[in-house]
Structure 1
């Protein structure tokens, strides 16, 4: 589904990714872990098409397409979703308005009929219920006045409404308390655990992986993947730290 081959990328002339390769098959959840500055968020931004990140070498194929040749909105229309570590606020635009426009833009790009207002609201209520988010929250301006946990739950509702084929979630667990972490983890499972979908979950901590059990865990260091394993690798990182686990791998 997603194939990254020898990816090199830089920002402002500074190399960040240095030969990263990874393949995620349909139906799989892969977790990316690593110390600060390893390149985790850069990987998410490069895949999402954020301006300012220059790919200098390598390729990325998504569902048979050259992902790097697509503009950010084309990547979204192809079924790619990027969840941000720090979701932005958009004053003056309600969540309902924003999400309906985004969904219908994607539907039109696929040759599908846009949803009516009533159809969209029924869908929004269904997805909001998965994340225990009051529909009144979706009538407010995008993320304005939301707590950290509310922003993350609202973003997962957005993911549920857009129903992507592949989700890249950049530290979705950041800022979540224990209850919100469980709700978000269960929401990810309900929305993205399917044979035709895939997830790349970037996280610092093992705690989210108690709910979203990954098929593979990868350690990113120095801009490339240096070790891969199962869920037990994340538990070892939590118990022993990066330095100890990396020394054992050397």
Structure 2
């Protein structure tokens, strides 16, 4: 892959939740179309990184910087980070009772399109695109008319996240254990979607410990977080070593 200016540059990011510092100092560069796999024991800060970059109000950045195409995400409200091209797939996607799935996604998509200087999609054109996207993910079109994630299984919630991803076309997507709750076909759909979007320039940070999926994703880099810092950097060999011996090997 040709080295270019990173689409996302994170420098010495320090994040607190309440009075507890979870991320001590994290730095990384994400190139357009690249894929980084993030691994680490429970509590090491993987989900915290995603929440902090997305602008969750409970995650306070106390030091450092995160530049997305030159814009400092830390200085932007959450909705502006999404409009700038950052996407977070939640580890446990919440339900939003009373809000129709198709209205929710179309509103988000049109906000992003507006920020890009594109014309908004009307309900008809959006529904055609959404149905095509849902079909490719093995997601029944009827789910578009239901409240967001209400009554959805774990796998259905993850597919709904993937539908948002494919329609929003972000610059950088952080997928937090996207394989959790998915069956074999669902994991295959993840790999195919990520490969297709990488070819179009979207960069990915994928939190996962599922070695088979990691190998299928063919990451450019594998990072191990430990106690709020990047403790190791490598390639697939690092992921295979962690899968074989666990995280305790680093402290042995």
Q: Could you tell me the TM-score, scaled by structure 1's length?
A: 0.94
Aligned with 1:228 (options 225, 229, 233): 233
Distance 2:40 2:135 in 1: 33
Distance 2:173 2:234 in 1: 21
1:66 match = 72
Shift of 1:150: 0.9
Runs of at least 5 residues in structure 2 that lack an aligned partner in the other structure: 1-6
Shift of 1:51: 0.3
Shift of 1:95: 1.1
Shift of 1:37: 0.5
* Over 6 Å off, 4+ runs: none
Between 1:168-177 and 1:39-48, the stretch displaced more is 168-177
2:23 match = 17
2:186 match = 180
**Is the 2:169–2:202 Cα contact (8 Å) retained in structure 1?**
no
2:36 match = 30
Matched, 1:217 2:222: yes
Change over 3 Å in CA distance of 1:196–1:188 after alignment to 2: closer
**Is the 1:33–1:219 Cα contact (8 Å) retained in structure 2?**
yes
- Aligned residue pairs total 246
Distance 2:11 2:85 in 1: 20
2:129 match = 123
**Is the 1:186–1:211 Cα contact (8 Å) retained in structure 2?**
no
**Is the 2:215–2:236 Cα contact (8 Å) retained in structure 1?**
no
Aligned with 1:110 (options 103, 109, 116): 116
| Corresponding residue SS for 1:111 | coil
CA RMSD of aligned residues (A): 1.4
Distance 2:57 2:167 in 1: 25
Shift of 1:43: 0.5
Q: Could you tell me the TM-score, scaled by structure 2's length?
A: 0.93
| Corresponding residue SS for 1:193 | helix
Aligned with 1:91 (options 97, 100, 118): 97
Distance 1:103 1:173 in 2: 24
Matched, 1:51 2:63: no
Runs of at least 5 residues in structure 1 that lack an aligned partner in the other structure: none
Shift of 1:208: 2.3
Between 1:102-111 and 1:20-29, the stretch displaced more is 102-111
Distance 2:156 2:200 in 1: 29
Pairing of 1:74-89 with structure 2 (within 5 A)? 74-89=80-95
